[in-house]
Structure 1
Amino acid sequence: MITSIRNVTFALAAFLAVAMPAVASELGDDGLHKEDWFALTFRDMADDIRAAKADNKRLAIIFEQRGCIYCAAMHEKLLSDPEVRDYIKANFKVVQYNMFGDEEVTDLDGEVLTEKKAARKWGYVFTPTIVFLPDEVPAGKTVAEAAVATMPGAFGKWTFLDMFRWVREKGYEKDEHFQIYHARHIKELRAAGKLDAE
Structure 2
Amino acid sequence: MHKLLARAVTMLMALAFSQTLHAAEVGDDGLHKEAWFTITFRDIADDIAQAKAEGKRLALTFEQRGCIYCAQMHEKILSDPEVRDYIAANFMVVQYNMFGDEEVTDLDGETLTEKTAARRWGYVFTPTIVFLPEEAPEGKTVAEAAVATMPGAFGKWTFLNMFRWVREKGYERDEHFQQYHARIINELRAEGRLGDEE
TM-score (norm 2): 0.93
State whether residues 21 and 77 of structure 1, in contact with CA within 8 Å, keep that contact through their aligned partners in structure 2.
no
State the percentage of identical aligned residues: 75
- Partner SS for 2:112: strand
Q: Which residue of 1 aligns with 2:11?
A: 14
Per-residue deviation, 1:14: 2.4
Q: Which residue of 2 aligns with 1:64?
A: 63
CA distance in 2, matches of 1:43, 1:89: 19
Q: Output the amino acid matched with 2:33.
A: K
- How many residues align structurally? 195
Q: Describe the superposition over 1:4-23 as per-residue Cα deviations: whole angstroms up to 9, x where unpaired.
A: 99986654342345578935
Q: Which residue of 2 aligns with 1:86?
A: 85
CA distance in 2, matches of 1:196, 1:81: 14
Q: Describe the superposition over 1:122-156 as per-residue Cα deviations: whole angstroms up to 9, x where unpaired.
A: 00000000000000010100000000000001101
Q: Output the amino acid matched with 1:150.
A: T
Gaps in structure 1 of 5+ consecutive residues: none
Q: Which residue of 1 aligns with 2:178?
A: 179
Residues 146 and 186 from structure 1, CA distance in 2 versus in 1: closer, same or farther, beyond 3 angstroms? same
State whether residues 21 and 76 of structure 1, in contact with CA within 8 Å, keep that contact through their aligned partners in structure 2.
no
Per-residue deviation, 1:85: 0.3
* Rg comparison, structure with higher value: 1
- Partner SS for 1:158: helix
Residues 191 and 34 from structure 1, CA distance in 2 versus in 1: closer, same or farther, beyond 3 angstroms? same
Q: Which residue of 1 aligns with 2:190?
A: 191
Q: Describe the superposition over 1:69-93 as per-residue Cα deviations: whole angstroms up to 9, x where unpaired.
A: 0000000011110000000000000
Q: Output the amino acid matched with 2:9.
A: L
Q: Which residue of 2 aligns with 1:96?
A: 95
Per-residue deviation, 1:193: 1.1
* Pairing 1:1-198 to 2, within 5 Å after superposition: 11-18=8-15, 22-23=19-20, 24-197=23-196, 198=198
Q: Output the amino acid matched with 2:34.
A: E
TM-score (norm 1): 0.93
| Worse-matched range after superposition: 158-167 or 16-25 | 16-25
Q: Output the amino acid matched with 1:75.
A: H
- Provide the aligned C-alpha RMSD in A: 2.0
Gaps in structure 2 of 5+ consecutive residues: none
CA distance in 1, matches of 2:76, 2:55: 27
- Partner SS for 1:22: helix
